[in-house]
A = this chain, B = another copy of it.
Amino acid sequence: MDRRDVLADAAITVLARAGSRGLTHRAVDAAAGLAEGTSSYYFRTRSALLQACVERMAARTLEEMTTGTPAVTTVDQLVGACVATVGHWLAKDRERLLARWELALESTRRPELETALRAAGATIRERVADTLAALGIAEPRRRADDLVACLDGLAFDQLAGAGRPPRDDAGLRASIGDVVRGFTAS
């Protein structure tokens, strides 16, 4: 794997575990198990490091999206797909989620990041919008944006929010069922 990708992955891990404040060149070197100074050579500035994080994340998300996307033709299937996605986020992508939120907050202050982050988000939302449209739902574009935002909100609440009760699968299914119903009814 390209050295840059290794470093970007390490940076994402650091971001998740230590937050924006902990994201330093040296911390990335340590996380990647590379010699001190390495990340500083590949990404001269901290801003470049952040940029690399969002690009790497976007690339990985896109990659995963193109691989396995089961067809969704009913609302129930949509609920299932959403539960599967969020469940996967919570179980296996914890770090990537935390890093993404960290970057999102950072993008508030860095227009370069915002652009890249927004482009990545748009791709996913389009995909969801297509699915909603295929189900014959009105305003698929807006509703796709909202649905993604709500699922993200539920995940945030679970991982970092004030709610955060360890929620079982059934609870997750009930919650997501409610949300999806709201966006698909009528």
User: Taking beta carbons and an 8 Å cutoff, which residues of A are in contact with B?
Assistant: 17-21, 98, 101-102, 104-109, 117-118, 120-122, 124-125, 139, 142-143, 145-146, 148-154, 156-165, 171, 174-175, 178-183, 185
Contact = CB atoms under 8 A, between A and B. Distances in A.
13 contacts: A98-B108, A101-B105, A104-B156, A108-B160, A120-B162, A143-B178, A146-B179, A151-B153, A152-B156, A153-B156, A156-B156, A180-B182, A181-B182
Contacts of A162: 104, 117-118, 120-122, 124-125
Nearest to A117: B162
Contact of A146 (B105, B108, B145, B154): B154
B20 A163 contact: no
A95 B185 CA distance: 34
Number of copies: 2
Given A101-B105, A149-B157, A179-B182, 15 more contacts: A19-B108, A19-B109, A98-B108, A108-B159, A142-B175, A145-B157, A148-B157, A149-B154, A149-B158, A149-B161, A151-B153, A152-B156, A153-B156, A153-B157, A181-B185
Contacts of A171: 142
